[in-house]
Amino acid sequence: MPIKNGDFLLVNYTLKVKETGETVGTTLENVAKEAKIYHGEEKYEPFFIVVGEGWVPKGLDEALTGLEVGKASTVELTPEKGYGARDPKKVRLVPLRKFTAEGMSPVPGLQVNIDGKVAQVRAVGAGRVQIDYNHPFAGRTLVYDLTVETIVEADEDKLRSLLHRRLPPVDLEKFNVKISDGKLEVEIPEEAFFLEGLQVAKRTITADIEKFFPKTETVTFVETFKKPTPAALLTPKTAEAPAPATPAAQT
């Protein structure tokens, strides 16, 4: 079945810069290791995308429509279809003291947030730092070797994919969702309780749900805290037995 706008996809890809042949991104762990861009803290798994939502460069979004699931494809994007041409006006000089005042030591390649905008440090001179607000791939021709692994069909799986996109440190299968009569309940896994930005993520998740599941009337997030059993009070016999059920707190 050809892919169309609005489809929820899981895609494996490897991204290269045509001008240099350099591999700059991939969802495949073995490819990352071979290209020496492997980062142990990253999760190597298929990339989730809703076709036509602008989550990827325009040219890639357009190229996905019509592809077949399971068929390897190569998509080449000119700068106009990728991240645009480089704009010399987006390269600026910033006083070094602006960085030191924030406790930062700028070095070439460092990504920074200056005046609310993300930029990359290009060079560090005597008292001044050259920063570049252009996207790192601006002006580059990009080559995607990709395979659409699956079209996500079930509503529960779509919801888990949306949740995982906003809370990537949590494994997709750990999200429990219940849908009934316009009401959606999302159980937040324990490992997500103290993630930085969790409350913001909840708001963006709610916005996603309102957009992709417009019939949903209410969204409830449930966080269940279990009372720990003090280890000092356990005897060898009780330590082997299942912990008794305790009341759950919900938020």
For each of the domains in the chain, give its residue range(s) and CATH number, in order of start: 1-85+137-153 (3.10.50.40), 88-132 (2.40.10.330), 154-244 (3.30.70.2210)
Residue 128 has pLDDT above 50, yes or no: yes
pLDDT band of residue 234 (cuts 50, 70, 90) is low
Which pLDDT does position 141 carry in this prediction?
A: 98
Residue 243 has pLDDT above 70, yes or no: no
Rounded to two decimals, the pTM is: 0.81
Mean pLDDT across 172-178: 94
Mean pLDDT across 6-24: 97
CA 46 from centre of chain: 11
Residue 76 has pLDDT above 90, yes or no: yes
The contacts found for 17-20 with CB under 8 angstroms, 24 or more apart, are 17/137, 17/140, 17/141, 17/142, 17/143, 18/76, 18/140, 18/141, 18/142, 18/143, 19/140, 19/141
Mean pLDDT across 222-230: 82
DSSP bridge partners of 77: 142
- Are β-strands 218-222 and 183-187 bridged in parallel, bridged antiparallel, or unpaired? parallel
- Half-sphere CA count of 45, side-chain side, radius 13 A: 15
47 to each of 57, 59, 103, 185, how far by Cα in Å? Answer: 14, 17, 35, 25
Mean pLDDT across 198-217: 96
Average the pLDDT over each of 44-58, 169-183, 189-203, 229-243 and give the range with the smallest value. Answer: 229-243
Residue 239 has pLDDT above 50, yes or no: no
Averaged pLDDT score across all residues of the chain: 90
Mean pLDDT across 181-201: 93
pLDDT band of residue 15 (cuts 50, 70, 90) is very high
Residue 184: count other Cβ atoms within 10 Å of its Cβ: 20
Q: Label residues 112-131 b or e (16+ Cβ within 10 Å = b).
A: bebeeeebbbbebeeeebbb
What token pair was written down for 85? Answer: 């041409």
Q: Closest Cα to residue 46, out of 72, 27, 65?
A: 27
Question: Which amino acid is it at 245?
Answer: A
Which pLDDT does position 241 carry in this prediction?
A: 44
**Cα-flanking dihedrals φ and ψ of residue 11, to 5°?**
-125, 135
pLDDT band of residue 115 (cuts 50, 70, 90) is confident
Residue 235 has pLDDT above 80, yes or no: no
Which pLDDT does position 250 carry in this prediction?
A: 40
Which pLDDT does position 231 carry in this prediction?
A: 61
Percent of the chain topping pLDDT 70: 91
Which pLDDT does position 228 carry in this prediction?
A: 75
96 vs 105: CA distance, rounded Å: 9
Which pLDDT does position 238 carry in this prediction?
A: 47
What token pair was written down for 93? Answer: 């000089």
**Cα-flanking dihedrals φ and ψ of residue 181, to 5°?**
50, 50
Residue 98 has pLDDT above 70, yes or no: yes
